[in-house]
Amino acid sequence: MPLLTGPWVVAGVGLCAALMVVLADWRLSLLAFAAQSVLLTMLSTRLLPLPWAALRMLVGGLVAVLWFLSARWVRWGRLRQGEGETGRPRLSLSPRLLIPLSSRLRWRGERWPLLSTVTLQRLLAVGLAGLLFFRLQGRLRLPVLPSDLALASTWLWLMGFLALALSEEPLRAGLGLLTLSAGFQLFYAALEPAATPVGLLGSLDLLLGLAIAYLMVARGLAGRPHLARRLGLPPLEGTSEEADR
């Protein structure tokens, strides 16, 4: 059906990839990732049979649910700077410290203020990348793909590398890696539209999703023994940076 595989679907894929880089709230980023999986399934029907293309939507949905449950399990983004073992903020009685109290209780992790400097920097980076992309789109050609799908694949690669470069968080890195994988799978489906590589690439995406979920849990529990004890897990000593290593 041309309506379900037309230019608006390509534009939707590009918009979802950009939103995953710019959005501050990890919940909205996961929603954009799930929407991108559905739109990529529609585009993949131009290159693959529908049951094979639906595998992308199935894997994307499973990974999104897995990351959402992992983030909720460790209360991703809800730990505030200055919290003690009980999870409550430590308040100082000094009047001079009551003024910058709001800056002390900023969210850690991936939940930034909607108008924070980091969000504006990401928006500027995506805008500059978009200008460079449209300036060079005439030179970016993939002969095996139609022109619109070639643009979608190249944009996915660009947004994936940008997501990896702008954040060290496991969730953002996972979104960037799966965005890169989505662009590669779209390109490889035109080279070899067979069931075996489609299933193998989908399995690799699922394994990558499991690895990122483990890193999210490890980073979320590092330095938070009260939360680990509440979940019935052995506490992880050290900081979140040590957990990443």
Report the C-alpha gap between 27 and 29 in whole angstroms: 5
Q: What is the C-alpha to C-alpha distance for residues 163 and 19, in angstroms, rounded to an integer? A: 10
d(CA 93, CA 103): 16
Element (H, E) at 72: helix 50-73
Dump pLDDT digits (tens) for 62-81: 999 999 998 888 776 554 33
DSSP 3-state of 7: helix
**Can you read off the two tokens belonging to residue 96?**
């001079």
Residue 84: pLDDT band (50, 70, 90) is very low
196 burial type by CB count under 10 A (0-12 exposed, 13-18 middle, 19+ buried): exposed
> What is the distance between the alpha carbons of residues 39 and 4, in angstroms, rounded to a whole number?
9
Mean pLDDT within 187-215: 89
The pTM of the full predicted model, rounded to 2 decimals, is 0.75
Beta bridge partners of 222: 236
Domain limits, the chain: 2-77+113-244
